[in-house]
C-alpha cells in the first residue's frame, strides 16, 4: 500500500527484475504517470495512462495525487507471451489521512480487477 496526500506529487521508480521475455504493463487506477527517466537517464517528461516495461528496464515516473479521498488499484499485468498465465500483481494507492492507522485501511470499494478487466477509464495521454 502506498499512502498519498491530495495535492502532492510522488516520484516512483519501477525496476523490472523479471527474468523472462514477458512484458508488463503498470497502471494506477484514474491516475496518469509522468515518465521522467528511463534506465537512469533523464528524459523529456512524457505523460501516459500506463507504462510497458521489459525485463531489466527501469523507469522513474511522477504521480499527481489529484483524486478525491479514497483507494485506487495499482496493477502490474503481464501480457503478450504471458497472456495464457494471466499474470498480475496488485497494490493500493490510498488517500487516507495520516491519522488513520495503516492496519485499518481497506481495499478499494470496487471489486478486485480480474486479469481481463481494464481498470483505467482515461485514454493514453502523451504530451
pLDDT of res. 103: 62
- pLDDT of 7 higher than 90: yes
- Give 58-109 pLDDT, tens digit per residue: 999 999 999 998 889 999 988 888 778 888 888 999 997 777 766 666 667 6
Mean pLDDT of 24-42: 93
- pLDDT of 31 higher than 60: yes
Q: How far is CA 90 from CA 44, 46, 98, 107, in A?
A: 29, 24, 22, 10
Q: How far is CA 21 from CA 12, 25, 42, 50, in A?
A: 23, 13, 25, 19
- pLDDT of 24 higher than 60: yes
Please, are residues 10 and 63 in contact by the beta-carbon 8 Å criterion? yes
Amino acid at each position: 500500500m502506498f499512502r498519498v496526500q491530495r495535492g502532492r506529487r510522488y516520484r516512483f521508480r519501477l525496476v523490472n527484475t523479471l527474468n523472462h521475455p514477458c512484458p508488463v504493463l503498470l497502471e494506477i487506477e484514474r491516475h496518469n504517470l509522468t515518465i521522467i527517466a528511463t534506465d537512469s537517464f533523464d528524459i523529456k517528461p512524457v505523460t501516459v495512462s500506463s507504462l510497458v516495461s521489459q525485463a531489466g528496464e527501469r523507469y522513474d515516473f511522477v504521480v499527481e495525487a489529484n483524486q478525491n479521498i479514497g483507494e485506487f488499484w495499482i496493477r502490474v499485468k503481464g501480457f503478450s507471451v504471458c497472456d495464457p498465465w494471466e499474470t498480475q500483481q496488485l497494490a493500493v494507492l490510498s488517500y487516507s489521512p495520516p491519522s488513520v492507522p495503516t492496519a485499518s485501511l481497506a481495499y478499494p470499494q470496487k471489486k478486485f480487477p480480474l486479469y481481463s478487466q481494464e481498470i483505467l477509464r482515461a485514454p493514453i495521454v502523451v504530451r
